[in-house]
Amino acid sequence: MKQGIHPDYREVVFVDSSSDFKFLTRSTVQTDETIEWEDGNTYPMVRVEISSASHPFYTGKQILVDSGGRIERFRRRYGKESFTSSGEAEAEAGTEEAAGSEEA
């Protein structure tokens, strides 16, 4: 194995910012933050938005985590106001078909 080309594989604490869940594992991720762990040692710390403690698949309940405003932006862009109701869409389709048959 070549020396100096591999990242430092070390113990790191990951902290879930939405549920305050912490776990110690090994990783090559680079970070400047540190935290004192339960064993008294200081480890590098990485903050994550979602972990097994806050993800709906693992918890069985919906926890809405919207740190970037993505949901609001989606609702503004694709909200119900921008869609036509199914009755209006069918009426428009029927009008277009009738116009197409007259041209033929």
DSSP code string of 61-81: S-----SS-HHHHHHHHHSGG
One-letter identity of residue 73: R
Give the β-pairing of 21-27 and 42-48. unpaired
pLDDT means per 10 residues, the chain with 104 residues, are: 87 89 92 93 90 72 65 80 52 53 53
Residue-level pLDDT at 76 = 83
Residue-level pLDDT at 94 = 55
